[in-house]
Amino acid sequence: MFFVWMIACETEPTEVTEPEVIPSPYIVEEDDPPVPALTNQQVGDAIGEAVNRLFEFNAAPVVRAYKAAADSTDAVCPDYYNDGSNTYWYDYCWTESGTYYAGYGFLYEYNNLDGGDGYIYNGDYFYLVADVTNAAGHTFSGSGAAYDVTKTHEGSDTSSPHTVSTSIIQGVFAYDGPEIAGTWMTEGVTPDLSSLCMMCPRPPRPTILASTSLSRAA
């Protein structure tokens, strides 16, 4: 080991030669860089339109359609049950006013509900596997859940006033009534959606978090 060290110390250092760089024929210097196809304003407008379009896909039309179909109940139709955690209806029946229920489901309505967590809740949440036809003959068919709820916080020592809106669609829903005109439910899409929008007075622009995937209905 000592002998090797001595040789290494007595060996003259070799000169390092830099390799010659040969220009590649595939690298071409551009005299005039390409002009972007879109201006910054056009890109910004397109992004804004995409964000606005994203938030058009929400659970509100589904909730509205279900409420329009389930426009009446009576003392015997539909029958309600409680499984210890949820109160739901399960029936195949006609109401006296002509609404038909077939299947099962539940609907929770939040009207200025104090959640005990500092938030006031407003909105709707339902889950069902059912067909419901109202007296006018319009049918709502669904299998899944829809959640469209806004909660508002008045603020505290550690939190500014803010509003959080959450919209979730999981399942397949259809309705043939006029209450959904102009919404995504008339466009032949089946959203699998979860979106959240948080808005605070300060800063003036809302902070938005959202994710969505859309698939064409079969």
Digit-coded pLDDT (tens) for 95-137: 999 999 999 999 999 999 998 888 999 999 999 999 999 999 9
- Domain membership flag for residue 23: no
Nearest C-alpha neighbor of 174 from the set 164, 184, 159: 184
Number of domains, the chain? 1
- Domain membership flag for residue 212: yes
pTM comes to: 0.68
- Domain membership flag for residue 6: no
Domain that holds residue 165: 40-216
Residue 15's pLDDT is: 62
- Domain membership flag for residue 15: no
- Domain membership flag for residue 116: yes
Residue 14's pLDDT is: 57
Residue 26's pLDDT is: 60
Residue 157 has pLDDT above 60, yes or no: yes
- Domain membership flag for residue 24: no
The DSSP symbol for 25 reads T
Residue 3's pLDDT is: 37
- Domain membership flag for residue 51: yes
- Domain membership flag for residue 114: yes
Nearest C-alpha neighbor of 174 from the set 158, 162, 191: 191
Q: What are the strands of the beta sheet with 189-199, ordered from one edge?
A: 80-82, 87-94, 100-114, 119-133, 139-153, 162-175, 189-199, 207-216
Residue 165 has φ and ψ, to the nearest 5°, of -110, 130
Residue 10 has φ and ψ, to the nearest 5°, of -90, -5
